[in-house]
Amino acid sequence: MTTLHLIDAFAEGPGTGNPAGVVLLTNERDAAWMQGVAMEMNQAETAFLRPQGGDFALRWFTPFDEVDLCGHATLASAHMLWEGGHLAADATARFHTRSGLLTATRSDDGWITLDFPAIASQQVAGPADLAEALGVPPRSVRMGDFDLLVELDSADAVRDLVPNLGAVARWPLRGVLVTAAGDQPGVDFISRCFFPALGVPEDPVTGSAHCALAVFWAERLRRDTLTGWQASRRGGMVRCRVRGARVELAGRAVTTLRGELLL
């Protein structure tokens, strides 16, 4: 039996954070099958797990394509493994992925910490139609491994943003991360993330984006421990700690659906 879960990651409770499909495989399936399931699930990402010794092989698919790195679906996968008894409560979840070995640990209070690659970004000019597509002039523009990172002047500008997603989808990159300094107690920075070329107009809470956002704000604020708030409609908190070439991303998760996949 192939089991299917829907899990809200980086969530404060059901209906918050970012929902991810998680499929636990009993045998290897090809990429075309996984892509078909991801299209059927129609979530920002669906994760596919397969036991590999004491570890797990892990792949992530949007409705349109496979991706190289995904935080929220990794957090959801780890949550499912512990909740379902596939890993001991104090065991480290180890995932073999396109981005190398990724791990997850769980604390007694339910927070799950991911160990992910840190992503540095470099200042760039950005697309010629950037300000027009965003509807607001950027304060700074940088490029990381996957995404354009655009800093705006205020948190309100991030919250109020209504980008032209058709224009964003034409840019030759995974997506755009829009960010500003936080304006509420306990929040160091806020962000919103758009990936229309991958079939994800706005991602609710993006773990992989915080690999770049945490590095950017750690340099700006001169602190290695930060809290980010992704200001999507669902919203979600990501606790971040930059450790050289790695970054820790912490959040909570809740299961909202369990079933059997019949495809």
**In Å, what is the CA distance from 31 to each residue of 36, 41, 67, 69, 97?**
9, 15, 12, 16, 14
Which of left, alpha, beta for 159 (phi over 0: left; psi -120 to 50: alpha)?
Answer: alpha
Question: CB count, 10 Å around CB of 222?
Answer: 7
- Please report, as a single letter, which amino acid is at residue 191: S
Of 45, 151, 202, 248, which residue is the catalytic one? 45
Q: At what angle do helices 207-221 and 72-83 cross, to 10 degrees?
A: 120
Q: In the beta sheet, which residues pair with residue 67?
A: 60
Q: Which helix (H) or strand (E) holds 3?
A: strand 3-9
- For the question of residue 45 being annotated catalytic, the response is yes
Is 10 in contact with 237 (CB distance < 8 Å)?
yes
Task: Please list the active-site residues.
Answer: 45
